[in-house]
A = this chain, B = another copy of it.
Amino acid sequence: MISEKKGAILILSGPSGCGKSTLLKEVYKEINDYYFSISTTTREPRVGEANGVDYFFVSKEEFEQDIKDDNFLEYASVHGNYYGTSLKPINKALEEKKLVIFDIDIQGHELVRNKLDSIVTSVFITTPSLKVLEDRLNSRNTDEKVVIENRIKNAKTEVEYFRDYDYLIINDNLEEASKQLVSIANITRVKTKLFNKDMIVSSWL
């Protein structure tokens, strides 16, 4: 049996309210061997947060050592706490031939494309229109008005970059959009670039 030779990366971007988290749950039901990239932080865990689930919680010293060792895809300091995307769990997952899934913005997408030497499949997810996004954000009733306004502003900017992605999912119908995302996830591992040519050809001698 010839199996895939490498890990791969799946990037999802799209405005808050587009339904990414809901769609991802459908993907997790269908595929195995994935690692969902989470951030590393030096801030204290809040009640209910678990290490390795919500964040990797590390000490300031550890974080700064990893900065020196060039172990971050990106990082920032916010209100005296560090937040960043550590390359260590990502590289480990790729070595284990897993599918590494990122839920990141358009800048993150560009960083991953430029900094990681892996086969990337990327998906931009949107609502059918700005109006639908506004309605969804308002009906959630969880965010302050200024937060919603900021999200809408970002959404308008981000949608201009959808052509930098491989696929566009317009989340109009949850069942259809799930099918599309699950299909994309299913075939990230059968891209010809992931197979070792010599290995395939040698099974045909």
Binding site for B on A (CB under 8 A): 1-2, 124, 126, 128-130, 155-156, 159-160, 162-170, 172, 179-180, 182-184, 186-187, 190-193, 195, 197, 200-201, 203-205
The docked-state distance in angstroms from the alpha carbon of A195 to that of B126 is: 13
| In contact, A190 and B163 (Cβ under 8 angstroms) | no
| In contact, A163 and B192 (Cβ under 8 angstroms) | yes
| In contact, B180 and A168 (Cβ under 8 angstroms) | no
Output the nearest chain B residue to A184 by Cβ-Cβ distance. B187
Residue pairs across A and B with Cβ atoms less than 8 A apart, 6 shown, are: A1-B170, A2-B170, A130-B205, A159-B204, A180-B187, A184-B190
| In contact, B130 and A204 (Cβ under 8 angstroms) | yes
9 further A-B pairs in the complex, CB-CB below 8 A; given A1-B170, A130-B205: A128-B203, A155-B204, A156-B204, A159-B204, A162-B197, A168-B191, A183-B183, A183-B187, A187-B187
